[in-house]
Amino acid sequence: MNADTKTARSVSENPCRMCMPMGGILPFKGIENAMLIIHGSQGCATYMRRHMAEHFNEPIDVASSSITEQGTIYGGEVNLKQGLKNLIKLYEPEVVGILSTCLAETIGEDIARITSAFVKEQTGSSLPRLIPVSSPGYGGSLTEGYFQALYSIVENVSQESPPHHGINVIVPHISPADTREIKRILDVMGAPYTLLPDLSDTLDSPYSKVYKRIPPGGTPLASIEAMAGAQATIEFGETLPDGLSPGKYLRDQFGVSLYRLPLPMGIAACDKFLELLKTLTGNPVPEALKKERGRLQDAMIDSHKYNREGKAAVFGEPETVYGISRVLLENGVTPAIIATGSSNPSLKGLVEGLSHSDEAEPFILLDTDFAELRRYCAAKEVNLAIGNSDGRFLTEKEGLPLVRVGYPIHDRIGGQRILSVGYTGTVMLLDQITNTLLANKLNHYRNDLYQEFYRSAGAGQFE
Ligand code: SF4
């Protein structure tokens, strides 16, 4: 196989992505007192709950309209309306997300129309805010579902508001630990903000003896309403297409200035974030954050001499792999392959713009699957994989050590606690990458020496 030319695939084998409605669930989980229902078969909701429960190590409530064989033929409208009634009675939410699936979209269900019909039929009762999101599983990856839902939330909720000094901060699907770190940086910088969505407590709740159907926390509805009056929006989503950008919606509809940044992973991206906060707030960067930056520089010096041997395959959702690639390129690890299951149009150009030399230019795989990724890992002789748990087959089949980061992490505990943003998170990620390279080297060096010197000297003839 020519390692520099992508060959055409006729089938997908173990896709390198999660489906759209799975992504659509996450923003609703980061809104205060929100619940959601999946319009489709029981199996879809079960699959999504299972992945989320294993990643976040929390109970995950997602309702299902449970379309059966009969609904598949005659339509699932009755099921969805009954499901909504039950959900509203049981959970008493303020917001309900209504997400479609492959099945619902394939049989032509119009969830926006069904939602309007439901609202009309319930005249007189006080209903939560119902937000339909069209999310066929085959329509994109987790990223497209996530931002489609986030866009629908902002479009439905935000409304003309008096101007204020607040800053909207829109984040992609990062961990609760990452969310807390971004909030901490905003607090330390003295920035008034609305962070959307806020999974920091809802999907990483402190232990409590009392079970609450909807965990406390999340972005309050009133704050989302007021996003239209903010002084600016910071959207962590350089790879995000315009059509899915809630920040662009706020700019076009309400004139809120938009700043698109990469996730604050790596020293340059963190600096960019702090520079912008300095400009928007008029506050200086405090000593505590300067020290954290200095510690990251120190860690970079400590690890750079080992990193040169790293040749990595990075895979996952576009914004995550872009952020990780920035960290690798800053620290001397070659991102030989950058892969995503999304068909993202801007990732290739962004990553190529980061490379310093021809040698470091990464090979980009879009809309890929793990069978293809595995073949390219062998062809490009990579020695490290960085991505979610679905890459464990790269370890099993190719012997590649895997640094687990992203979503989902379902074969280890603590997915919700993985920290990789900010100066501190970058240090943690960098240490993990360098230590994995070192462990791999130390595990194999005797055998490598033997193969290289002993056998090539002809000593093997006496075995
Ligand atoms: S890909 Fe389609 S069928 Fe599979 S879980 Fe997602 S929505 Fe359901």
Residue 341 Cβ inside 6 Å of ligand 1? The answer reads no
How much of the chain exceeds pLDDT 90, in percent? 87
Q: Of 22 and 360, which is predicted with more confidence?
A: 22
Query: What number is the average pLDDT over the span 63-84?
Result: 94
The domain covering 20-157 belongs, at the CATH homologous superfamily level, to: Nitrogenase molybdenum iron protein domain (3.40.50.1980)
- Find out whether 184 and 200 touch, Cβ atoms under 8 Å: no
Residue 433 Cβ inside 6 Å of ligand 1? The answer reads no
Looking at the CA of residue 102, tell me the nearest atom of ligand 1. 2
pLDDT per residue as tens digits for the range 172-219: 999 999 999 999 999 999 999 999 999 999 999 999 999 899 999 999
Residue 19 Cβ inside 6 Å of ligand 1? The answer reads yes
CA–CA distances in Å: residue 122 to residues 5, 88, 117, 127, 342: 57, 12, 9, 8, 39
Query: From the CA of 64, how far away is ligand 1's center (Å)?
Result: 13
pLDDT per residue as tens digits for the range 260-297: 999 999 999 999 999 999 999 999 999 999 999 999 99
Same fold, 20-157 and 288-448: yes
The fold of the 167-284 domain, in CATH, is Rossmann fold (3.40.50)
Query: Given this model, what pLDDT does residue 412 score?
Result: 95
Query: What number is the average pLDDT over the span 438-457?
Result: 78
- Find out whether 167 and 182 touch, Cβ atoms under 8 Å: no
Q: Can you give the pTM of this predicted structure?
A: 0.94
pLDDT per residue as tens digits for the range 313-329: 999 999 999 999 999 99
Q: Where are the domains of the chain?
A: 20-157, 167-284, 288-448
CATH code of the domain made up of 288-448 = 3.40.50.1980
Residue 137 Cβ inside 6 Å of ligand 1? The answer reads yes
Query: From the CA of 102, how far away is ligand 1's center (Å)?
Result: 6
Looking at the CA of residue 41, tell me the nearest atom of ligand 1. 8
Predicted confidence (pLDDT) at residue 3 exceeds the cutoff of 60: no
Looking at the CA of residue 38, tell me the nearest atom of ligand 1. 7
pLDDT per residue as tens digits for the range 400-415: 999 999 999 999 999 9
Residue 102 Cβ inside 6 Å of ligand 1? The answer reads yes
- d(Cα 372, Cα 280) in Å, to the nearest integer? 44
Strongest mean pLDDT among 36-40, 358-362, 445-449: 36-40
Query: What number is the average pLDDT over the span 426-451?
Result: 89
pLDDT per residue as tens digits for the range 234-246: 999 999 999 999 9
